[in-house]
């Protein structure tokens, strides 16, 4: 799959990540929480500054680490704060739960969200900035996914460079928009040893046939002509992956098809046990059951 990984990277316009990269960051705030410390940090990614929360477990040691990618939900004023339990939906707050279990957690704002909005006074859905970020790049012959992945890979590099992190136990997690980032990121970045993508296992083919929306960063000219989401999952093999889907969720509707197609590659590599799929009744939003199951699975992998 290495040739496919390289070709997809070329289509997106990214360089496959180096195994060693030092990412310096500035600590802006430190808050002691129950069982962990929350640091507000800032680091460079290209010409931009990324704002993120870094959660450090109370106990010292060689810890597993995870990059948590926040959802979209038409709420551009939320990002890192939601996955860290400071705002929004409590069923998105994976960060504190994992930090208490001994994970080093990095929760950055994706471009156009929370601190990375051009107009912080706009709450809720800020379509225009997000659309502009995509359109400006298209005019330059680039794609928004390139920026999203470069930022995410920078986050993986930051985690890998921390002395308290076990580089062999770095994972990533996300729901919806965050789950989409997980699939592309995990396919491209082999430093990730385990990943969970919730609510976004749906092929482009299925979306277009059924009138399902496509998130702006997934508008990648030249990608669907040759590849689809099942090819991304094949690129993740033989590493551990959990896909979470729901029967009435249009954004993960054909997850069983993706698992079947990608499962062939996992089987060829003797790693069928590393591809997990949990399908639930209900719609797109996370439930208490899904939230708990995801946490349990992530803890087991690390």
Is 213 exposed, middle or buried (CB count within 10 Å of its CB: 0-12, 13-18, 19+)? exposed
Tell me: pLDDT of 20 over 80.
Answer: no
Q: Which residues pair with 302 in a beta bridge?
A: none
Averaged over 267-278, what is the pLDDT?
98
Scored b (16 or more CB within 10 A) or e, 158-190 reads bbbebeebbeebbbbbbbbbbbbbbbbbbbbbe
pLDDT tens for 202-222 read 999 999 999 999 999 999 999
Q: Where in the sequence is the domain holding 7, given as residue range(s)? A: 2-301
**Is the backbone peptide bond immediately before 287 cis, with ω within 30 degrees of 0?**
no
What is the CATH classification number for the domain harbouring 93? 3.40.50.1820
Q: What pLDDT, on a 0 to 100 scale, did the predictor assign at position 19?
A: 66
pTM over 0.85: yes
Could you give the number of structural domains in the chain? 1
Question: Residue 175 and residue 197: Cα distance in Å, rounded?
Answer: 6
Averaged over 3-30, what is the pLDDT?
91
């Amino acid at each position: 799959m290495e040739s496919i990984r390289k070709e997809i990277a070329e289509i997106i316009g990214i360089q496959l990540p180096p195994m060693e990269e030092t990412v310096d960051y500035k600590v802006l705030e430190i808050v002691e929480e129950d069982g962990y410390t929350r640091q507000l940090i800032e680091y460079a990614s290209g010409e931009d500054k990324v704002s993120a929360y870094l959660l450090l477990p109370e106990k010292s040691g060689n810890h597993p680490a995870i990059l948590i990618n926040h959802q979209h939900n038409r709420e551009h004023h939320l990002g890192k704060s939601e996955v860290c339990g400071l705002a929004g939906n409590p069923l998105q707050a994976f960060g504190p739960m994992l930090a208490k279990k001994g994970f080093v957690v990095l929760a950055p704002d994706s471009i156009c969200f929370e601190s990375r909005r051009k107009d912080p006074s706009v709450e809720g859905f800020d379509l225009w900035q997000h659309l502009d970020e995509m359109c400006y790049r298209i005019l330059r012959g680039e794609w928004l996914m390139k920026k999203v992945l470069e930022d995410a890979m920078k986050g993986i590099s930051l985690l890998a460079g921390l002395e308290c992190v076990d580089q062999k136990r770095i994972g990533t997690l996300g729901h919806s928009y965050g789950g989409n980032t997980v699939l592309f990121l995990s396919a491209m970045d082999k430093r990730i040893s385990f990943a969970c993508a919730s609510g976004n296992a749906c092929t482009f083919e299925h979306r277009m046939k059924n009138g399902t929306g496509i998130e702006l960063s997934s508008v990648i000219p030249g990608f669907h002509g040759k590849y689809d989401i099942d090819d991304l999952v094949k690129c993740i093999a033989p590493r551990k992956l959990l896909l979470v889907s729901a029967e009435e969720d249009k954004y993960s509707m054909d997850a069983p098809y993706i698992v079947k197609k990608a499962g062939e590659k996992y089987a060829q590599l003797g790693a069928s046990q590393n591809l997990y799929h949990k399908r639930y009744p209900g719609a797109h939003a996370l439930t208490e059951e899904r939230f708990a199951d995801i946490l349990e699975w992530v803890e087991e992998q690390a």
